[in-house]
Structure 1
Amino acid sequence: MSFRLPTTLLALALLAGCATTPRQPVAVAPAVPAASTAPAAVAANDNLNAVAWSQTAIEHDLIYLQTYRDAQARLLAALHDRHWDALGKGDRTTPLRGLKPAVILDIDETVLDNSPFAARMVQGNHEYNEADWAAWCREENARALPGAVEFTRFAAKHGVAVIYISNRAKDLDQATLANLRKAGFPVSGPQSFLGLGTVVDGCEQAGSEKGCRRQLVARHYRVLMQFGDQIGDFVDVLANTADGRRKAVADYLPWIGTRWFVLPNPTYGSWEPALFNNDWSAAPEQRRRQKIEALRAQ
């Protein structure tokens, strides 16, 4: 026979049991700092992947080796063809007859590797400025890019003048020539470096375009080949827009890989401002938005 407590006593017993059972702690969410006290997020530097690729990807080095080796294999044939010339129609101002042979090379990201300077900008999350660039150039520590020394030495050995046309300022000429020599490049003298600010009689310089300096070379040399990482290293660009850049090279597509040798540079160049109407005064966020809008998703 079962023993049952009266209903009132049973209820009191249950209440007493609940009163003596230890209570479990209640989890409390941590306080979230007010928005005004949270640290500001640092915008990612858009150049990170480009600089990392330039410095670490074996594909980068192989492209340079491939380009310079191919050029070297073609150089002697170009040398012996007296009608061969790699200057565009606007730059060839002197007849070829009797001219000595030469090759024209840009310097930065064509023969010298400035990726350490770009890496400093990424690590410090700041943009390019002339003072830091000049200081880097004066360090004279840029290394030779793969294949470039071998090609230029081969050219010089076969009596081909090696001429460097660069948009480094003319006052960086001594540091630049010293860096080239340290890296092993043939340098025949100061006349082999035509920097930004070089005065060319009878030719009016347009911004940083290299046309006047190419015309100066044309007065003394038959140019066998040109090398660069920008369209402006080969021909003046009248309108720095996507369409204008395509038009600038349209007549010379058969020369790519035979007379003109183009090298990769994803870290900087005139291709970038072409995406935001060449307006460097625009805020970084606005320039970045316009670059994103220029992307094709299909």
Structure 2
Amino acid sequence: MAYLSPDNMADAFAALERGGVSVIAGGTDWFPQAGEVLPKVSLLDVTGLPGFRGISKVPGGWRLGAATRWSDVVGAALPGCFDGLKAAAREVGSVQIQNAGTLAGNLCNASPAADGMPPLLCLGAEVELVSRRGVRRLALAEFVTGVRRTARAADELVSAVFVPDLAAGTVAGFRKLGARRYLVISIAMVAASLRIEAGRIVDVRVAVGACSPVARRLSVLEARLEGLSVRADLSVNVADLAGLEPIADVRGSGEYRLEAVVEMVSRLVGDLVQQGVRLEQGVRADG
């Protein structure tokens, strides 16, 4: 097994073209999955490539480099709409894992229980892919195509995640349910974002992970909540979860997962509405 750590794109592309390589950016998923006998492949570590790490404001949004660590996300000065992603970052394994695990590694691993997926879906994130052919962007919902499957071509590398600007006043959050508080694979997880305008809920987004092959937005629930008064009944029911396909495993039954999501989404949306109301009232008072 060879370990390749290029510091330029030409060498990285050449390694991909030779074949027989696995791309890593931290390796916190790759090594546990490899087991006791490592496969006969070379490792292509992309963490040293230019522009692959760091968070920056760019025209129209924010660029998060592929090799940005979860601890980088936690410590970054970001607007409130990123609070859900920051909360998820704090739930990724231990602090040691957060210091090594990367944003793109979490997405490319394409686990149904990837912590970063629900909040990034709520942020409308796009995945930036680079190859000798150029740069392209895919919506995150199109990039992850199934369990352990992505739309990355063999000659491409994920170079960044782009998050478009959201309106001021957007609040966001994340909740995770596991068998214990830390170092746990999710039974279910939910993320949401919204803002309050004139006492009504607008631009509401809700996403659920670990309850379908790929984390997904709850479009039925979003449509029902959009435009509601903050004083309306905001309770969630199973009918709002259309599209989820929770499995039964050692962590919980499918029925339990659905019941848990109903409660988690209800609590999170309720908390965010209260937070948004306080924020709107503060803005009015300041104005």
Q: TM-score range by the shorter chain?
A: under 0.3
What is the TM-score of this pair, normalised by structure 1? 0.24
Structure 1 or 2: more strand by fraction: 2
* Larger Rg, first or second structure (1 or 2): 1
